[in-house]
Amino acid sequence: MDIKASGHLAKMDVKLCDTVTYQLPLDDQRIELNPLVGKHISIEHLGDIHCVHCGRRSKKSFSQGYCYPCFIKLPQCDLCIMSPEKCHFHRGTCRDPEWGEKYCFTDHFVYLANSSGVKVGITRGDQLPTRWVDQGATQGLPIFRVQTRYQAGLIEDCLREHVADKTHWQKMLKGNAERVDLEAIRDALLAKSEAGLELLEQEFGLQALQRLYNETTTEINFPVHEFPEKVKSFNLDKQPLVEGVLKGIKGQYLILDTGVINIRKYTAYNVQFSAN
């Protein structure tokens, strides 16, 4: 099967099935990737980057697809997106209050995921299990449902005193994490963090911060035929042509026999994709 298409990269579309299915967006096109595992593929950066918000041509991508002017003014690029416990909406300094009310003042989950090991994280209510798939997690479990992103960030800040809050991507790409009992880890983690959690519950109320004891662990399988022993990451800015045999897909990474590439990192890059 020969495929050739061009367009701007975006985060791969995923669907949770027995094995995660992936599509590669190139502008309006969608390329089915699972059938290409075991095939030779190439991705060539054609030199253009166009901001995902305003379309402006940019020499460099900021915050996964934005030009610099958008990066410094848009709320979705603000510091509090990566560190929600630093939300400053209540001080009247949000970059766009309407955007904040739509995206930050909505239900969020605090979760445990097993990617390179167990970690805590947060995401909007409509982003599970996609968030776990994007992180390369083989297991995921929601443990809190809250009313705002800020509240989720405060709970995460409390819990990460006892559990990691980041994925070690190289370790994640070398193989699947050993299966664990996330429900038991949740119970132990909440017990260790009880003092801090009770203070947050007193501040916001039990209805705002709902503990989830009845959720079950989601198991996730990725289309990987072979994991790399050593992880070599491609950089399209330095090496515009990436090619090799596709050995698998995990998280937002394509795993080739020649190295790995984080597709999400190169959002808004204009590329030519081919497979044979």
Taking residues 250-254, report their average pLDDT.
98
Give the CA angle between residues 169, 173, 179 to the nearest 5°.
Answer: 95
Please give the helix or strand (H or E) that residue 90 lies within, else none: none
Q: What is the pLDDT of residue 150?
A: 97
Residue 1 has pLDDT above 80, yes or no: no
Give the span between the Cα atoms of 36 and 66, in whole angstroms: 29
Percent of the chain's residues with pLDDT above 70: 100
Number of residues assigned to the chain: 276
Give the span between the Cα atoms of 251 and 14, in whole angstroms: 9
Q: What is the pLDDT of residue 31?
A: 98
Give the span between the Cα atoms of 47 and 59, in whole angstroms: 9
> pLDDT averaged over the chain?
97
Among candidates 246, 250, 238, which has minimal Cα distance to 273?
Answer: 246
Total-model pTM = 0.95
Burial environment of residue 238 by CB neighbours within 10 A (0 to 12, 13 to 18, 19 or more): exposed
In angstroms, the Cα distances linking 102 to 106, 209, 225, 251 are 7, 19, 41, 27
Query: CB of 84 within 8 A of CB of 78?
Result: no
Q: What is the pLDDT of residue 245?
A: 98
Among candidates 188, 107, 171, 178, which has minimal Cα distance to 139?
Answer: 178
Residue 142 has pLDDT above 80, yes or no: yes
Among candidates 271, 242, 236, 233, which has minimal Cα distance to 60?
Answer: 236
What secondary structure does DSSP assign to 22-86, as a single string?
A: EEEEETTEEEE-GGGTTSEEEEEEEEEEB-TTT--B-SS-BTTTB-HHHHHH-GGGSHHHH-GGG
Please give the helix or strand (H or E) that residue 188 lies within, else none: helix 182-192
Give the span between the Cα atoms of 182 and 98, in whole angstroms: 37
How many CB atoms are closer than 10 A to CB 84? Answer: 21
Q: What is the pLDDT of residue 54?
A: 97
Could you read off the pLDDT of 185-221 as tens digits, one per residue? 999 999 999 999 999 999 999 899 999 999 999 999 9
Q: How does strand 139-146 pair with strand 218-219?
A: antiparallel
- Helix, strand, coil percent values for the chain (each to nearest 5): 25, 30, 40
Read off the pLDDT band of 163 (50, 70, 90): very high
Please give the helix or strand (H or E) that residue 164 lies within, else none: none
Residue 274 has pLDDT above 90, yes or no: yes
Q: What is the pLDDT of residue 69?
A: 97
Read off the pLDDT band of 159 (50, 70, 90): very high
At 173, the amino acid letter reads L
How many CB atoms are closer than 10 A to CB 41? Answer: 21
How many CB atoms are closer than 10 A to CB 230? Answer: 7
Q: What is the pLDDT of residue 73?
A: 97
Residue 32 has pLDDT above 90, yes or no: yes
Q: Which two tokens stand for residue 126?
A: 């409509």
Could you read off the pLDDT of 76-125 as tens digits, one per residue? 999 999 999 999 999 999 999 999 999 999 999 999 999 999 999 999 99
